[in-house]
Amino acid sequence: MPGRNYLKKPDWLKIKIPSGGEFRAVYEILRSYHLSTVCEEARCPNINECWNKKSATIMILGKICTRACRFCAVKTGNPRAGIDPDEPDNAAEVVRRLGLKYLVITSVDRDDLSDSGSGQYAQTIRSIKEKNPKTTIEALIPDFSGVESFIRKVVDAGPRVIGHNIETVQRLTPLIRDPRCGYEQSLDVLKIIKRLNRKIYTKSGIMLGLGEEREEIIHTLKELKDAGVDIVTIGQYLQPTRRHYPVQKYYTPEEFEFYKKVAQDMGIDYVVSGPLVRSSYHAEEIPG
């Protein structure tokens, strides 16, 4: 396997240890309502910054993912459980207590459920909108196996933004992502969303540092543009543990600026690109 010589992190990837009063307040509120965040489960490097601003990405449908992508720190396996019927209302109450103006909802994959969890997504969005009508909602969804009726449930719930990450270039997809994922399937999900409701902003993200080539990155950005994607995030892959896929390269801030310009020149409306950028990073700053 490539890259077993572990690379040293450059200075621009150094982050603060989670701490602070607001960090603790967010943690306690989430725990009291039995909610998880992708910030914790995926070991996001921006958790300190976001939580101290009382901003978090709520993760629904439990903590165990039915897929096993080689880049992801979220636990994988058989959830051996249904879904929490109180989760939509609990999420709405957390949004109210934190006073969030912009919320991102994401989840693990739940291939074990009859609708892949799409109904829970829709109900959570509706509950939050009912109790927090001024909150803008972004849903960062799994692929739902590409089933249009499942995707439609989320679209019909009416979030402002729906994101689905392509994660990496086509050549590396079978190596990096679970076999049930697919490069073309992810593009199809994004196309379906836009076809069902052109007013919804579509969003996708790609990680760099997995062994991709320059032309492959540019090609992927072009395919996202052709799929009608409005917002693209580009960030550095960081290996969560030694059992995960090793980093092949650390890109410089200047390289991230280069790919940002490439994407903008293609006509992608909004591009966030940088070493610590993640799908939900500064999501509330995106216009529209």
pLDDT over threshold 80, residue 101? yes
pLDDT band at 79 (very low <50, low <70, confident <90, very high): very high
* Per-residue pLDDT tens digits for 216-228: 999 999 999 999 9
Q: Looking at residue 187, what is its pLDDT? A: 98
pTM equals: 0.88
CA dist 118 → 108, 113, 122, 147, 155 (Å)? 11, 9, 6, 10, 10
Over residues 61-77, the mean pLDDT reads 92
* Per-residue pLDDT tens digits for 148-187: 999 999 999 999 999 999 999 999 999 999 999 999 999 9
Give the position of tokens 């293609």: 266
Q: What is the 3-state secondary structure (H, E, C) of the chain?
A: CCCCCCCCCCHHHCCCCCCCHHHHHHHHHHHHCCCEEHHHHCCCCCHHHHHCCCCCEEEECCCCECCCCCCCCCCECCCCCCCCCCHHHHHHHHHHHHCCCEEEEEECCCCCCCCCCHHHHHHHHHHHHHHCCCCEEEEECCCHHHCHHHHHHHHHHCCCEEECCCECCCCCHHHHCCCCCCHHHHHHHHHHHHHHCCCCEEEEEEEECCCCCHHHHHHHHHHHHHCCCCEEEEEECCCCCCCCCCCCCCCCHHHHHHHHHHHHHHCCCEEEEECCCCCCCCHHHCCC
Over residues 85-95, the mean pLDDT reads 93
pLDDT over threshold 90, residue 40? no
Q: Looking at residue 42, what is its pLDDT? A: 43
Q: Looking at residue 57, what is its pLDDT? A: 79
Give the position of tokens 């072009």: 222
**Least confident residue range of 58-62, 154-158, 176-180, 275-279:** 275-279
pLDDT over threshold 90, residue 56? no
Q: Looking at residue 284, what is its pLDDT? A: 58
pLDDT over threshold 70, residue 89? yes
Over residues 42-59, the mean pLDDT reads 58
* Per-residue pLDDT tens digits for 189-199: 999 999 999 99
Q: In the CATH scheme, what architecture does the domain 17-285 have?
A: Alpha-Beta Barrel (3.20)
